[in-house]
Each structure stands twice: as structure tokens, then as C-alpha cells.
Amino acid sequence: MALVPAVVPTLTKAGFEVVIEAGAGSQAGFPDAAYAEKGARILPDRSAVFDAAGVVVQVLCYGSNGLTGKADMPLFRKDQLLAGFLRPLGSLAIIEEIAAVGVTSFSVELMPRTTRAQSMDALSSMGTVCGYKAVLIAADILPKLFPMLTTAAGTITPARVLVIGAGVAGLQAIATARRLGAVVSAYDLRPAAKEQVQSLGGRFVELPIDAADAQDARGYARPQDDSFYLRQRELLGKVVAEQDVVIAAAVIPGKKSPVLITREMVYGMAPGSVIVDLAAERGGNCELTRPGETVVDHDVTIAGLINLASSVPYHASQMYARNLSAFLLHLFKDGKLRIDASDEIVRETLLTRGGKIVNARVRNFFGLPDLEESSDGTP
């Protein structure tokens, strides 16, 4: 859910009128009465919300929602503002379709990773939820206990967990696995991740291979060449074989997820082992991952989970709503939308405006020509 009752008073105090589709929050644990109590107006259906709202906030907008997202397109109108997950580095055709409606859209995936934008960083919020839940799912599937236990039947040795990719989701997975009592290791091609892994009590796996320009300006891992990934897989194979659980969370924005766990590596794991592939939506870090499915191959369970944050809807909605409300308060001053090209937060998240894709990073990604700046400095 994009907005929860707790943020409604903050938005209304800032001059917004909040309208909610009837029943929209019920499955996440937020009944209509809770919204009404906080001052929101409940409208009977989705069409009524789109008709009434100058600003539409969603979780998965068209582009990131392949099931029902397209049905929203006839409901939009020119100059309406849209904010949410739009998958800006996904389908160019879909982004052009959104632009053609005349919607001014902001993609939360493009939020800069800066201290100033931290309260608006929805990707980090959802990554936290995914990392936490991935470990719980692995613990539920694994036919072993996570912690070391001293029992009347002797000592139970702790489970061994490897986390591949020490971004926000990976770090939360490390922390959660440690809280459950597992022995945790982690690997990331970015050397800067070592200190973060160790601060959470994990052992950082160092491979005798160096990545070229491992990290971009936004803190994400850069894609490497095929020879790097080949050598990386060779070295990781021995580490993976020792694990009871592998949480794979190595994602490169806009790129297919690198295959880090081959079929041979899976077959080298002990029977009953578990792989939770958080990169499944972009193809998966495991060669055997089937996006959206949980499969068993050679007695190893591979969970290719998608949109894992939706399995914790109450707190995922709460976190996302706080991010979005902070973003809206940043965009609007004295009740007016301020699109300031000198503001990094606005400039980096603005995706479409005036019938065009205006985001420089997205245009460059798809090989589109640069746009000329207008008098106010915006494309």
C-alpha cells in the first residue's frame, strides 16, 4: 500500500487532500475506517480516485506491474503526477507509453543514495524487508536448525549461511541470520563492503580476484566482463559447497543478474541445502532459478522469489508510505509542485514530463539523444 493512515495527518497538514480507494489497504492491515479517522476521504473505486487526484502514488506502477498495470493507462490524464516503482531501466516501450499520456512521473528506483535523500529511499526500505524475509523463508525450508543448541541428545551444530551481495538486502540477511544463530559468511566484489559485513558479525569472503572499477557513484556494483565472472564462479564453488543456505542478492540496476551459482555448484551442495535467489526478477544469480517459483533440483531447494516485500505487507507499506510522504513534501512547497533542475533528488527521479522521457540517465541507458534544456534548466 502506497499510503498508510499514519502519514495522512502529515500530508493534510501540508495542504494535501488524501483520497483512498475503498478497501485498498485492507489486505495490508489498514481498514478504511483507519484512513477515515485520520482525515482521508474514501472513494468507491479506482476510477474515482484517478478522477479526483492530481497526484497518484502507487507501489507497482505500469512498467513494474505486468499483471494489472496497463489497465491504469486510460485513467491517467495530462499533467497528472505519478510516483512509484516504474522500472525505468526495463521496457522503453512502456516508459514511452507513460510519457505519451502526458503524465509527470517520478521513479522511486532512481532516488540518489545520499544522506539528504535517505528518508525517501524506497529501494533501501524494500531491500531491508526482502533481506529479512529471505532468511526466514530459508530457515523454514532448511531441514536443520539455525542456532547451535546444547541438548539432552548432544550438541546441534549451527547452520552455515552464505550471503552473496552485501547491499541493503544482503546486509539485512546477514543480520537476521546472525540473530537466528547461524554462522554467516558474505561475499561482495566491492572491497568497501568488507567493513559492513564484519560489523554485523559476518565473515567476509575474500577471493584472489580483483574487480575493475567495482562500484559506481551510487554505490552499486558495476557489471564485469565474462572472464571475471568465470573466475569468480570457480573460486566461489568451494565456498558454496560448504553452506547449508545461500542468499543470493547480487543485482546490477538495469542489467540481467550475473549468474554466480552454476548448476555444478548446486550439485556440489549437501542434500537439503537451500538457495534463496533475491535476484530472480532479473533472471537470477543461480543458473537453476525459475523466477516466481520454488524448485528442487539434486535435493537442493532453489526459491526464485519475486516481490518478496509484499509478503510482509504491513511494515513494507508503513516504510514505503513514509518514504513517499517525505518525497511529496520535498516536491511540493506551499501547495505547488516545484521542479527544480538544480535539486539532485528532483532531477534524478523525474522520469517523464510534457510527453517526453526527460531523465538523462534513462535516455543514456536506452541510447536516446540528449534533450535541450528549457529556460528553467529542466529538459
pLDDT tens for residues 30-53?
999 999 999 999 999 999 999 999
Quick one: what percent of the chain has pLDDT higher than 70? 94
Asked if the model's pLDDT at residue 222 lies above 70, the reply is no
Question: Angle 292-295-300 (CA atoms, 0-180°, nearest 5)?
Answer: 135
List Cα–Cα distances, 136 to 22, 72, 178, 182, 249, in angstroms: 32, 34, 12, 12, 15
What pLDDT, on a 0 to 100 scale, did the predictor assign at position 372? 75
Q: Kindly indicate the confidence band of residue 253, based on its pLDDT and cuts at 50, 70 and 90.
A: confident
What pLDDT, on a 0 to 100 scale, did the predictor assign at position 290? 96
Q: Name every residue whose Cβ is closer than 8 Å to that of residue 22 and which is 6 or more positions away in sequence.
A: 32, 42, 43, 44, 45
From the candidates 46, 80, 91, 113, which is the catalytic residue? 113
Asked if the model's pLDDT at residue 216 lies above 60, the reply is no
Contact in structure between 180 and 135 (CB atoms under 8 Å): yes
Report domain 129-306's class.
alpha beta
Asked if the model's pLDDT at residue 217 lies above 70, the reply is no
What pLDDT, on a 0 to 100 scale, did the predictor assign at position 374? 61
Q: What are the residue ranges spanned by the domains of the chain? A: 5-120+312-365, 129-306
- If you ran DSSP here, which 8-state letter would residue 221 be given? B
How far, rounded to the nearest angstrom, does the alpha carbon of residue 87 sit from its chain's CA centroid?
10
Is 299 a residue of the active site? no
Is 51 a residue of the active site? no
91-109 residue pLDDT tens: 999 999 999 999 999 999 9
Averaged confidence pLDDT in the chain: 92
What pLDDT, on a 0 to 100 scale, did the predictor assign at position 228? 74
Is 124 a residue of the active site? yes
Q: Kindly indicate the confidence band of residue 319, based on its pLDDT and cuts at 50, 70 and 90.
A: very high
Q: Kindly indicate the confidence band of residue 211, based on its pLDDT and cuts at 50, 70 and 90.
A: low
* Residue range 360-376: mean pLDDT, rounded: 84
How far, rounded to the nearest angstrom, does the alpha carbon of residue 324 sit from its chain's CA centroid?
14
Pairing mode, strands 332-333 and 336-337: antiparallel
What pLDDT, on a 0 to 100 scale, did the predictor assign at position 66? 82
Is 118 a residue of the active site? yes
5-120+312-365 shares its CATH topology with 129-306: yes
From the candidates 47, 118, 198, 374, which is the catalytic residue? 118
DSSP codes, 148-179? -EEETTEEEPPPEEEEE--SHHHHHHHHHHHH
Q: 309: buried, middle or exposed (CB in 10 Å: 19+, 13-18, 0-12)?
A: buried
Asked if the model's pLDDT at residue 229 lies above 90, the reply is no
- As a whole number of angstroms, the distance between CA 332 and CA 321 comes to 16
* Residue range 144-169: mean pLDDT, rounded: 94
* Residue range 177-192: mean pLDDT, rounded: 93
Fold of 5-120+312-365: Rossmann fold (3.40.50)
Asked if the model's pLDDT at residue 215 lies above 60, the reply is no
Q: 371: buried, middle or exposed (CB in 10 Å: 19+, 13-18, 0-12)?
A: middle
Q: 323: buried, middle or exposed (CB in 10 Å: 19+, 13-18, 0-12)?
A: buried
What pLDDT, on a 0 to 100 scale, did the predictor assign at position 212? 59
What pLDDT, on a 0 to 100 scale, did the predictor assign at position 256? 85
* Residue range 176-203: mean pLDDT, rounded: 94
Asked if the model's pLDDT at residue 62 lies above 90, the reply is yes
Contact in structure between 351 and 107 (CB atoms under 8 Å): yes
Decide: helix, strand or coil at residue 60: strand
What pLDDT, on a 0 to 100 scale, did the predictor assign at position 379? 62
Is 113 a residue of the active site? yes
Q: Kindly indicate the confidence band of residue 251, based on its pLDDT and cuts at 50, 70 and 90.
A: confident
Asked if the model's pLDDT at residue 221 lies above 70, the reply is no
Greatest mean pLDDT range, 62-71, 317-326, 337-346: 317-326
* Residue range 113-119: mean pLDDT, rounded: 94
